[in-house]
Protein backbone atom coordinates (compact mmCIF):
# COMPACT_ATOMS: atom_id res chain seq x y z
CA UNK A 1 0.00 0.00 0.00
CA UNK A 2 1.38 3.41 -0.93
CA UNK A 3 1.65 6.39 1.40
CA UNK A 4 -1.12 8.19 -0.50
CA UNK A 5 -3.42 5.18 -0.26
CA UNK A 6 -2.76 4.91 3.48
CA UNK A 7 -3.47 8.65 3.91
CA UNK A 8 -6.73 8.26 1.96
CA UNK A 9 -7.84 5.39 4.20
CA UNK A 10 -6.90 7.36 7.34
CA UNK A 11 -9.04 10.26 6.14
CA UNK A 12 -11.98 7.91 5.56
CA UNK A 13 -11.55 6.46 9.06
CA UNK A 14 -11.67 9.89 10.74
CA UNK A 15 -15.46 9.97 10.67
CA UNK A 16 -15.95 6.32 11.62
CA UNK A 17 -17.02 5.07 15.03
CA UNK A 18 -15.14 2.11 16.50
CA UNK A 19 -16.93 -1.19 15.97
CA UNK A 20 -14.38 -3.47 17.66
CA UNK A 21 -13.78 -3.13 21.38
CA UNK A 22 -10.96 -5.04 23.03
CA UNK A 23 -11.40 -5.39 26.78
CA UNK A 24 -9.99 -7.37 29.69
CA UNK A 25 -10.28 -10.68 27.80
CA UNK A 26 -7.87 -9.44 25.12
CA UNK A 27 -8.02 -11.16 21.76
CA UNK A 28 -9.97 -14.40 21.49
CA UNK A 29 -11.41 -16.43 18.61
CA UNK A 30 -14.72 -14.56 18.78
CA UNK A 31 -13.02 -11.16 18.41
CA UNK A 32 -10.91 -12.39 15.49
CA UNK A 33 -14.02 -13.72 13.74
CA UNK A 34 -15.90 -10.48 14.43
CA UNK A 35 -13.03 -8.47 12.90
CA UNK A 36 -12.88 -10.75 9.85
CA UNK A 37 -16.63 -10.48 9.28
CA UNK A 38 -16.60 -6.71 9.70
CA UNK A 39 -13.73 -6.32 7.26
CA UNK A 40 -15.45 -8.53 4.70
CA UNK A 41 -18.55 -6.34 4.89
CA UNK A 42 -16.90 -2.92 5.18
CA UNK A 43 -13.23 -3.26 4.17
CA UNK A 44 -12.21 -0.49 6.62
CA UNK A 45 -12.91 -0.66 10.35
CA UNK A 46 -11.89 1.17 13.48
CA UNK A 47 -11.36 -0.45 16.84
CA UNK A 48 -10.62 0.69 20.36
CA UNK A 49 -8.71 -0.88 23.22
CA UNK A 50 -10.38 -0.34 26.58
CA UNK A 51 -8.42 0.68 29.68
CA UNK A 52 -8.69 -2.74 31.29
CA UNK A 53 -7.25 -4.58 28.26
CA UNK A 54 -3.97 -6.47 28.70
CA UNK A 55 -2.69 -5.31 25.28
CA UNK A 56 -1.89 -2.00 23.62
CA UNK A 57 -3.60 -0.83 20.45
CA UNK A 58 -0.38 -1.51 18.50
CA UNK A 59 -0.25 -5.09 19.78
CA UNK A 60 -3.93 -5.67 18.98
CA UNK A 61 -3.49 -4.22 15.49
CA UNK A 62 -0.45 -6.40 14.79
CA UNK A 63 -2.11 -9.59 16.06
CA UNK A 64 -5.32 -9.00 14.10
CA UNK A 65 -3.40 -8.16 10.93
CA UNK A 66 -1.51 -11.45 11.16
CA UNK A 67 -4.61 -13.47 12.06
CA UNK A 68 -6.86 -12.22 9.27
CA UNK A 69 -4.34 -10.99 6.68
CA UNK A 70 -5.44 -7.36 7.02
CA UNK A 71 -3.36 -4.20 6.89
CA UNK A 72 -2.94 -1.83 9.78
CA UNK A 73 -3.69 1.66 8.51
CA UNK A 74 -3.24 3.67 11.70
CA UNK A 75 -2.74 3.38 15.44
CA UNK A 76 -3.30 6.45 17.62
CA UNK A 77 -3.57 6.15 21.37
CA UNK A 78 -6.06 3.40 22.13
CA UNK A 79 -7.57 3.29 18.62
CA UNK A 80 -6.57 1.38 15.53
CA UNK A 81 -7.77 1.17 11.93
CA UNK A 82 -7.66 -1.98 9.80
CA UNK A 83 -8.16 -2.44 6.05
CA UNK A 84 -8.70 -5.54 3.97
CA UNK A 85 -9.87 -5.46 0.38
CA UNK A 86 -13.10 -7.40 -0.08
CA UNK A 87 -12.91 -10.56 -2.15
CA UNK A 88 -15.89 -9.44 -4.21
CA UNK A 89 -17.63 -6.14 -4.77
CA UNK A 90 -14.92 -3.93 -3.33
CA UNK A 91 -16.32 -0.62 -2.12
CA UNK A 92 -13.00 1.18 -1.78
CA UNK A 93 -10.96 1.62 -4.94
CA UNK A 94 -7.34 2.35 -4.11
CA UNK A 95 -6.09 1.80 -7.66
CA UNK A 96 -6.81 5.41 -8.65
CA UNK A 97 -4.83 6.86 -5.74
For CA atoms 24, 26, 30, 34, the dihedral sign is: positive
pLDDT of 80 higher than 90:
yes
What is the average pLDDT across 72-91? Answer: 92
What is the end-to-end Cα distance of the chain in Å, rounded?
10
**Domain 3-83: assigned CATH number:** 3.30.110.60
Determine the pLDDT at residue 19. 95
What is the average pLDDT across 73-93? Answer: 91
What is the side-by-side order of every strand in the sheet holding 79-83? 20-22, 44-49, 79-83, 71-76
Conformational region of residue 42, where left means phi above 0, alpha means psi within -120 to 50, and beta covers everything else = alpha
| Total residues belonging to the chain | 97
Determine the pLDDT at residue 59. 97
pLDDT band at 93 (very low <50, low <70, confident <90, very high): confident
How is the chain split into domains, by residue range?
3-83
One-character DSSP codes across 29-60: HHHHHHHHHHHHHHSEEEEEE-TT-SS-HHHH
pLDDT digit string (tens) for 20-78? Answer: 999 999 999 999 999 999 999 999 999 999 999 999 999 999 999 999 999 999 999 99
The beta strand positions in 1-97, using DSSP E, are 20-22, 44-49, 71-76, 79-83
pLDDT of 89 higher than 90:
no
Determine the pLDDT at residue 86. 86
Provide the CA 24 distance to its chain's centre, in angstroms.
19
Amino acid sequence: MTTKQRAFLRSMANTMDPILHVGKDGINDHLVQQAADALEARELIKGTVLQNAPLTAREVCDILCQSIQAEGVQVIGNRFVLYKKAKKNSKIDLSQI
